[in-house]
Every structure is written in C-alpha cells, then in structure tokens.
C-alpha cells in the first residue's frame, strides 16, 4: 500500500522529512476496522511528533490521525460496523497513523461519518470535534442541552482547528461566545462560525472585553499556549469560573493564582481514552456519532479550510509547513492518493 512516513526527524523543508513509501498492508486485531483511507486532515500533533530529533525509525514511522474512509474488513469481535461503512475518526497516538492507503482503527473510537459530507469535509472534523466536545461538555461541565444558555465562554484561538469546533459547539449549547483572532480572514471565519464577539489576541484582552461590557468571562477554553496565556486568563476569568487547557506546559505555572477566585483548571487531551484504554473509551464513538448527526441536521458545519490536493509527501510537507506558520484557519485536508 502507499503511505507517507519518515525514517529521520527532520525540518519540514528537508526533502526527506516526509517520504512517499510502499508498505505492507496491516492485519486487523479483534476490535479493529480495516479502513481504506480516502481523506486525511493534518493537526499540530503531526508537527509536534515529527519535530527534529536524533532518532531513527526503521521501519519508517507513519503519522496522521484525522481520517475518513471506507471499512473494507472488520476484526472478529467488531459489532458496530460492516464492510462498506463510511467512517471518520481521530485514531490513537499509540498506533501507526492514517497517512496510509489502508489503516487500522479500534471500532470504539470510530463512527459513521456525516451523510451530508464528502470525505474531505468529514476528515476535517474528528480530532478537533472530540477535543472541543470533551473540553467544553466534560471538562468545563457545560450542559449541551442549553441549561447554561447565556453564560459566556472565551475561546482563545477561535479560528484555529480546535477553536472552530469550540465556537460552534458553544453556540449549539446557547453560550455567548467571545473568540480571539488577529487577522481579517481569521476574524471573519470566527464570526461566520457564530462567535458573538471577536477580540484580537495580539492586543491586551481586558480593555477589549471591557469595551464590550464584559468585566469577566465565566468560562475559558484556551486552544493556545497555556504558559503564555496564564496571567491573562487569571485576570479575565470570573470568580468561580473554569478554564480548560489543551496545550502542554513548557515550564512551571503558578497554580496558586487561581485560588482567590476559586477557579478550576482542567486539562483536556483527546488521546487519553484511547491511550489508556479507559473503560468508557467507546464514548468517543458516541461523540462522533452525535457530531455527525448535528452536521446532518445543520447545527454544525465542517471546519475544512484549505484543500491541499492528494495525499502524498509533497502535499503533506506543505500542510506541515502551513501549521508551523501558526496561521491555519480551520483544518487543512488532503484527499485521494497520487
């Protein structure tokens, strides 16, 4: 099968940082779906895992987590899927990635993709939808059926991959959404997804919030650097508020600063369930199934931004370079093999 991978961890402008490869097809385990991959999306996690270091992979390492494709075989204990099903999923950080024509995924973390979307639009969704859903509804405790309607959430990085889903899910839940974006096109994107107010993360937030009549925000979903945004979050969060973070810290942070306001901080890592095989791992299938239904009902839309062409090493190198620029809007997708 065709696949894109690497032996050496190199800067993305190096021609061997990602290579077109021919690899043996994998054999499904008892809970696995064997999926013929039709489209993939690229995430910052691909870039972080590929970051240069003096380590050699042999056999080569294949990246890629977001995928949409067609089930062509199932493991002996699979009960929820059949060959021919069109599925989408974010996979597991502990397994070989989806930048391969044929890929294995545990049935508990995959779902049928939205019927109203093609493969590229569907591949844009799973990883960020899971992160946004778990962060908003599980970690921040927002009621998805509207009992928190009217509360305010600040989404830092509102036009990025994750932010684009947080904004939409928060609107479905009835929240007032303040999103950050710094450029004309990212501001327009966040507004089009439903943000009620867009503020510029390159300028101090407090004056911008106060100008909109907001002294504090009850909830913060930070999709960007936890360290860099810590003091601002401490400042603008409301007493008894909650903060969710999804980016690993680079150094120690002063957790004590949250105490006087009795603010809770929660980590969200969408790979936790699959990495640790938690007993509730299949919740991710339920989440992706619900997301697909909400897309088909018109409550959510795909967050596909740029379509970078077919799945090959050159196009994936371009996708990684774009993510490294920090200016992605929505998701970058690739589709078909060539």
Ligand X SMILES: NC(=O)c1ccc[n+]([C@@H]2O[C@H](COP(=O)([O-])OP(=O)(O)OC[C@H]3O[C@@H](n4cnc5c(N)ncnc54)[C@H](OP(=O)(O)O)[C@@H]3O)[C@@H](O)[C@H]2O)c1
Q: Which residues bind ligand X (CB under 6 A)?
A: 43-45, 48, 127, 131, 156-157, 159-163, 180-183, 186, 201, 223-224, 246-247, 268-270, 323, 326-329
| DSSP state at residue 112 | E
Q: Which is nearer to ligand X, 184 or 254 (CB)?
A: 184
Q: What share of the chain is helix, strand, coil (3-state, %, to 5)?
A: 30, 30, 40
Indicate the residue among 71 and 162 with the shorter CB distance to ligand X.
Answer: 162
Closest to ligand X by CB, 83 vs 326, is: 326
Q: Nearest distance from residue 190's CB to ligand X, in Å?
A: 8
**Least spacing, CB of residue 120 vs ligand X, in Å:** 17
C-alpha torsion 171→231→161→277, nearest 10: -90
Lateral strand order in the sheet of 264-267:
197-199, 176-180, 152-156, 217-222, 237-245, 264-267
Nearer to ligand X, 102 or 323 (CB): 323
Residue 276, CA atoms < 13 Å, CB-side half-sphere: 8
**Where are the extended beta strands (E) located within 246-324?**
264-267, 304-307
Q: For ligand X, which is the closer residue by CB, 86 or 303? A: 303
Q: Which is nearer to ligand X, 34 or 50 (CB)?
A: 50
CB of 95 to ligand X, least distance (A): 16
Could you say which DSSP state residue 311 is in?
A: B
Give the nearest distance from C-beta 131 to ligand X in angstroms.
Answer: 4
108, 190, 191, 305 from 184: Cα distances, Å: 40, 10, 11, 15
Q: How far is the CB of 248 from ligand X (least distance, A)?
A: 8
Shortest distance in whole angstroms from residue 188 CB to ligand X: 10
Residue whose CB is less far from ligand X, 28 or 163: 163
Q: How far is CA 9 from CA 48, 91, 156, 185, 317, in A?
A: 10, 22, 30, 33, 13
DSSP 14: S
- 35 versus 233: smaller Cβ distance to ligand X: 233
Give the shortest CB-57-to-ligand X separation in angstroms: 21
Distance CA 131, CA 173 (A): 16
Give the 3-state secondary structure of residue 196: coil
CA–CA gap between residue 21 and residue 1 (Å, rounded): 8
For the chain, state the CA radius of gyration: 20
Name the residue nearer to ligand X (CB basis): 18 or 21. 18
Angle between helices 126-133 and 161-172 (to 10 degrees): 50
Instruction: Name 311's bridge partners.
Output: 337
Q: How near is the Cβ of 328 to ligand X at its closest, in Å?
A: 4
Residue number of the CB closest to ligand X reads: 160
Least CB distance to ligand X at residue 68 (A): 17
């Amino acid at each position: 099968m065709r696949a894109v991978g690497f032996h050496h961890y190199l800067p993305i402008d190096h021609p061997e940082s990602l290579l077109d490869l021919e690899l043996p097809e994998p054999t499904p385990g008892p809970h696995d779906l064997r999926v013929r991959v039709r489209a993939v999306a690229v995430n910052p996690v691909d870039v972080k895992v590929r970051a240069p270091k003096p380590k050699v992979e042999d056999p080569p390492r294949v990246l890629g987590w977001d995928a949409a494709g067609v089930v062509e075989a199932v493991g002996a204990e699979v009960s929820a899927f059949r060959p021919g099903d069109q599925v989408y999923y974010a996979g597991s950080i502990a397994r070989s990635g989806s930048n391969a024509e044929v890929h294995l995924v545990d049935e508990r973390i995959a779902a049928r993709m939205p019927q109203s979307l093609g493969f590229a639009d569907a591949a844009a969704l799973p990883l960020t939808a899971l992160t946004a859903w778990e962060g908003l509804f599980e970690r921040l405790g927002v009621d998805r059926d509207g009992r928190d309607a009217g509360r305010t959430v600040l989404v830092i990085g509102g036009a990025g991959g994750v932010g684009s889903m947080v904004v939409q899910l928060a609107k479905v839940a009835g929240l007032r959404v303040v999103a950050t974006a710094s450029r004309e096109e990212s501001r327009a994107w966040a507004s089009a997804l439903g943000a009620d107010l867009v503020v510029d993360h390159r300028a101090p937030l407090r004056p911008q919030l106060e100008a909109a009549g907001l002294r504090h925000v009850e909830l913060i979903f930070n999709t960007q650097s936890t360290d860099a945004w810590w003091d601002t979050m401490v400042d603008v969060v409301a007493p008894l508020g909650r903060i969710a973070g999804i980016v690993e810290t680079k150094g120690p942070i002063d957790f004590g600063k949250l105490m006087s306001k009795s603010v809770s901080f929660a980590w969200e890592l969408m790979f936790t369930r699959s990495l640790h095989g938690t007993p509730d791992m299949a919740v991710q299938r339920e989440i992706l199934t619900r997301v697909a239904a909400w897309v088909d009902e018109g409550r959510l839309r795909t967050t596909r931004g740029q379509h970078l062409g077919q799945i090959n090493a050159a196009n994936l190198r371009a996708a990684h370079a774009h993510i490294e620029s920090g200016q992605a809007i929505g998701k970058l997708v690739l589709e078909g093999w060539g």
